[in-house]
A and B are shown apart, each in its own frame.
Chain A
């Protein structure tokens, strides 16, 4: 009876560790996939490392896997590639001195556009108010009469 219990426990333990290992593997593969999707393949420049079939992409995936297996963090792996290929390998460029225009530029353009838009609107409103003031000099009936004359009566 006790022997049977031991066998059962041993089997359960093995199954559990195997499951934990499999879960770890899934997590690891997921991490690699995420990381590869953030890195650019330098041969076909509009593809990520994950999508590209280029031989260099294969090699770089192999390097990324080896680095991840050896316990390097995502940031360290990215740093490894940036040191060799430059910031270009990162699909999301870092915010630094030579990229601030890239990051801030669109918002600057939006702001500038907004300012111009506001200025135009304000000027147009001002003009409309002036028109109203001009028009208020004459009574509405006069305006209607004038319109009638313009439409129906020969000059």
Chain B
């Protein structure tokens, strides 16, 4: 009885410590997307370099692809840009850029200056398609499978770790199926 009363506060403290420890590694800015496991929202947007052409969600069906949300005004897009360039040169998976709430001429200038990692970029000037994809912080990256279902979402810049440990293994697995 006595020992139980001594241990109880310690046990409560230990539980609290575990909660706080886990809390430290959680990022409140990362809101889990309800779209994972759901079909990517349909879109039809004109492309950045040839505004007369449109790309629709159906055009991408039958292959695994990445949707990378970027903008010329987005500062942290610059940190992930070298990684995307390397990914493009490896030619493992097509990356579609969604130029989010950006002036097309600014977007084109930014790509001309920094290099263009995208198979094609589409322009979402009023941010409507961004809302459909639940975009709230640029950059964001989605992995979409052959059936057009969103399988993964990276919030914030793609890191080498996320690319090697999550995105690329998932892409390979999805490409096999």
Q: Which residues from chain A sit less than 8 Å from chain B, CB to CB? A: 42-43, 45, 55-56, 59-60, 63, 82-88
* 5 residue pairs A–B, Cβ–Cβ below 8 Å: A56-B136, A82-B34, A84-B131, A84-B134, A85-B33
Question: Nearest-CB distance from B16 to chain A (Å)?
Answer: 13
Residues of B21-50 at the interface with A, using a CB-CB cut-off of 8 Å, are 28-29, 31-35
Residues of B within 8 A of A85 (CB): 31, 33-34, 134, 136
> Is B34 a contact of A59 with CB atoms below 8 Å?
no
Tell me what chain A mostly uses at the interface: helix, strand, loop, or mixed.
helix
- Cα A113 to Cα B128 in complex, Å, equals 50
Q: In the complex, what residues of A have CB within 8 A of residue B34's CB?
A: 82-87
**Residue from B33, B126, B136 within 8 A of A43 (CB atoms):** B136
Q: Could you tell me the distance in whole angstroms from the C-beta of B4 to the nearest C-beta in chain A? A: 13
Q: How far is the CB of B72 from chain A (nearest CB, A)?
A: 14
Alpha-carbon separation in the docked complex, A155 to B31 (Å):
74
Interface size on B, residues (CB 8 A): 18
By a CB distance below 8 angstroms, the chain B residues around A45 are: 28-29
For B33, list chain A residues within 8 Å (CB).
Answer: 85-86
Contact residue among B28, B32, B126, B131 (Cβ-Cβ distance under 8 Å from A60): B131
The distance in angstroms between the C-alpha atoms of A76 and B91, with both chains bound, is 42
Q: Using a CB–CB distance below 8 Å, which chain B residues touch chain A? A: 28-29, 31-35, 101, 126-128, 130-134, 136-137
Contacts of B132 in A (CB 8 A): 84
Given A42-B136, A43-B136, A56–B28 Cβ distance below 8 Å? no
A59 (CB) vs chain B CBs: closest residue: B127
B contact residues around A86 at 8 Å (CB): 31-34, 134
Which residue of B31, B101, B133 contacts A55 across the interface (Cβ within 8 Å)?
Answer: B101
Q: Which of B29, B127, B133 contacts A84 (CB 8 A)?
A: B133
Q: Are A42 and B31 in contact (CB under 8 A)?
A: yes
* Complex contacts, A87 vs chain B, CB 8 Å: 34
CB distance from B148 to the nearest CB of A (A): 17
Residues of A within 8 A of B32 (CB): 86
Q: How far is the CA of A63 from the CA of B130 in the complex (A)?
A: 12
A43:B31 contact, CB within 8 angstroms: no
What is the chain A residue whose CB lies nearest that of B31?
A: A88
Of chain B, the residue at the smallest CB distance from A41 is: B136
Q: Which residues of B contact A42 (CB under 8 A)?
A: 31, 136-137
Inter-chain contacts of B101 with A (CB < 8 A): 55
Task: Give Cα A86–Cα B133 distance, bound, in whole angstroms.
Answer: 11
Q: Is the CB of A56 within 8 A of B127?
A: yes
Cβ of B131 and Cβ of A63 under 8 Å apart? yes
Closest residue of A by beta carbon distance from B101: A55
- Not counting A60-B131, A82-B34, a sample of 17 additional A-B residue pairs whose C-beta atoms are within 8 angstroms of each other reads A42-B31, A42-B136, A43-B137, A45-B28, A45-B29, A59-B126, A59-B131, A63-B128, A83-B34, A84-B35, A84-B133, A85-B33, A85-B134, A86-B32, A86-B33, A86-B134, A88-B31
